[in-house]
Amino acid sequence: MKGKDWIMNTKRVVVKIGSSSLTDAHGQLDAEKLEDHVAAIARLASSGYQIVLVSSGAIAAGYSGLGYPARPVTIAGKQAAAAVGQVMLLNHYARAFHKYGITIAQLLLARQDFERREQMSHAYSALSELLKRSVIPIINENDSVSLEELTFGDNDMLSALVSGLIHADFLAILTDVNGLYDKNPNEYDDAIRYHYLDQLPDHLLNETSAASGSKVGTGGMKSKLCAARTALSLGVRTFIGTGKGTDKLVAIIKGEGDGTYIGSRELKPSLKVSKQWIALHSPVSGKIEIDDGAVQALMEKGKVYCPPACGKSRVIFMPEK
C-alpha cells in the first residue's frame, strides 16, 4: 500500500492523544508536549481538515494540585484528580490553540451517551455543527462520574466510537510506541514492525498483552488494537504510532507516519448513526431467530426483514428490569 492511498478522500480526522504522550517522566502534564501536539493539529487544520481531538490527561493534570505525591490509585482519588485536572487541561489547550486563532469546545462523554439513542443523536448533531463552524471539539471521558474509563483503555475505544459517530475518514491514535510489532520490541531485538495491515487478524489481538503500555495511562497496545478493530468495522482507517514536530500529523495523513496503518481502500462506508447504535450500543432485551435466507439477505443487502417474511422465525421479547 502506498502513502497516497491514505490521502484520498481524507478530510475528517479524529486525533487521539493518550496520557503517555502528554506527561513527563513523573507522570505530570507536560505543557511542552501538549503545545507540540496543538501545533501539529493547527497545521493540519490550516490545510483544510476537520479535526476532533480525543484527549486523555485530566488525572495527570490534576493530581499534584490535590496534594497527591504520585498518580492516585484509588477510584475516589482518580475521580477527584480528574475533576480538578479537566479544568486545567482545557485551560492549557485553550491558551495553546488561541495562538493559532482556533476556537475549541469541550465535550465530556460517558458510555451511556452512546447507549441512549437520543443522546447519541444529540452528540452527533453538536459535533457536526462545531465542525461546520471550524471549531475543534476536545473530547474526554467523563472521568469524575464514569467508573468505566478508569479501566477502559485511556480513551482508545472512545476515540473509535467518536470516529464512527462523526463519519470520520481517519483515526490517528498517538502513543509513545511507534506502531505494532510481531513481538515485544523491548524484549526481542529481531521484532518486526508492521507498517500496513489491510485487516486486524485475530492472532495479533490474542498475542498482544493487555498490560503492554505506559505507566501513566490506563490503556495498553491491546486496547488500541480493539479500538482499531471497532473503527474498521465503522469504516474508519486507523493509525497507531508516534511522531514529533509541527508536520507529524500531515506526515501521518500522507502515509509517512512513524507507526502502523490499519485498513484498506476497500473498507465499507461508515454506518449511519442509527445503525451504529443498533450494532454497538443498544441494550439487548430479546432475540429474533431467522432462517438462512433471511441471514443471507441481511448480510448482503443490509435489509431488515420482519419476522413474518422469514420462513422459520421465532421472536422472544424480554421484559425490561
Query: Hey, what amino acid is at 98?
Result: H
- Cβ atoms within 10 Å of 82's Cβ, excluding its own: 28
- Digit-coded pLDDT (tens) for 248-289: 999 999 999 999 999 876 666 565 655 554 555 555 556 677
Q: How many residues does the chain have?
A: 321
pLDDT in tens, 100-123: 999 999 999 887 788 777 888 899
3-state secondary structure of 16: strand
Is 220 annotated in a binding site? The answer is yes
Q: Is the dihedral of CA 249, 253, 257, 259 positive or negative?
A: positive
The secondary element (H helix, E strand) that includes residue 257 is none
| Residue 175 known to bind ligand | yes
| Residue 222 is assigned to a ligand binding site | yes
Closest listed residue to residue 90, CA positions, set 38, 45, 44: 38
Q: Could you give the 3-state DSSP secondary structure of residue 285?
A: coil
Residue 48, annotated ligand binder? no
Residue 24 marked ligand-binding: no
Half-sphere exposure of 76 (CA within 13 A, CB side): 0
Q: Tell whether residue 27 is among the known ligand binding residues.
A: no
242 is in an annotated binding site: no
Grid-cell match 433471511, residue found: 294
Residue 185 · residue 192 · CB < 8 Å: no
Residue 74 assigned as binding residue:
no
Instruction: Note the pLDDT tens digit of each residue in 141-168.
Output: 887 776 554 445 568 999 999 999 999 9
232-255 mean pLDDT: 92
CB 105, CB 136: distance < 8 Å: yes
User: Taking the model in full, what pTM does it have?
Assistant: 0.81
- Asked if residue 143 belongs to a known ligand binding site, the reply is yes
Confirm or deny that 318 is annotated as ligand binding.
no
Domains of the chain with bracketed CATH: 3-273 (3.40.1160.10), 285-317 (no CATH)
Distance of CA 217 to the CA centre of its chain: 14
Q: Summarize pLDDT for 24-48 with one digit per residue, the tens.
A: 988 889 999 999 999 999 999 999 9
Q: How many CB atoms lie within 10 A of CB 91?
A: 11
Check whether 36 is labelled as a binding-site residue: no
- Band of pLDDT at residue 216, cut at 50, 70 and 90: very low
pLDDT of 215 strictly over 50: no
- Three cell numbers written together for 132: 461546520
- 98 or 268, higher pLDDT: 98
